[in-house]
Amino acid sequence: MAEKNAQILTCIRCPRGCQVSVAVDGDGQVLSVSGNLCARGDAYARAEVTNPVRTVTTTVPVKGGGAARVSVKTAREVPKGAVMDVMRALAGVTACAPVEIGDVVVPDIAGTGVDLVATSRA
């Protein structure tokens, strides 16, 4: 029988910050999730121990607008391990005004399959 292993996580899906306990077997399979007060906590805990993901937010320089920088984010979450890859892929990227919120600044950033989109206007 595979060995049981419990991980305690702080759920970050909302400001409540539930302490969620996740039991994982030796193969990395989630056996149980407890301590969460809503379904989002269950989903977060399962994903966090199997495939943790993060939204990357930063800014890039913008040409031709009033501001020096325009804020951007990954349109969806990317694997946690790809966060620094996204940042490195942004070196040298410059947006061109006009930029509208939601405009794609870099498609498929760092091979993640996720677009980098603007979160402010310029």
Partner 1 sequence: MTDYDVVVVGGGPAGLAAALSARRSGAGRVLVVERDCELGGILNQCVHNGFGLITFHEELTGPEYAARFEDAAQEAGVEFLLDATVLDVAADRSVTFVSARRGVRCVRAGAVVLAMGCRERPAGALALPGFRPAGVYTAGCAQRLANREGLLVGREVVILGSGDIGLIMARRLTLEGAHVACVAELMPYSSGLKRNVVQCLDDFGIPLLLSHTVTRVDGRRRVEAVEVSRVDEAGVPIPGTGQTYPCDTLLLSVGLLPENELSRSAGVALSPVTRGPIVDDSLMTSVPGVFACGNVLHVHDLVDYVSQEAERAGASAAAFAASGGSSAGMRLSVRAEGGVRYTVPQVIDVSRMPERLEVRLRVDGVYEHRVLVAHLGGRCVARRRRDILVPGEMEQIVLRREDLAGASPSDSLVICLEEA
Binding site for partner 1 (CB under 8 A): 9-10, 12, 14-15, 17, 54-59, 61, 67-69, 71-73, 80, 83-84, 87, 101, 119-121
Nearer to partner 1, 30 or 58 (CB): 58
Segments in 25-82 forming alpha helices (H) = 39-50
* Separation CA 122–CA 60 (nearest Å): 11
* Separation CA 90–CA 72 (nearest Å): 11
Q: Please identify which residue in the block is written with the tokens 């984010």.
A: 73
Smallest gap, in angstroms, from Cβ of residue 117 to partner 1? 10
Q: Is 114 exposed, middle or buried (0-12, 13-18, 19+ CB in 10 A)?
A: buried
Nearer to partner 1, 24 or 62 (CB): 62
Nearer to partner 1, 101 or 104 (CB): 101
Smallest gap, in angstroms, from Cβ of residue 72 to partner 1? 8
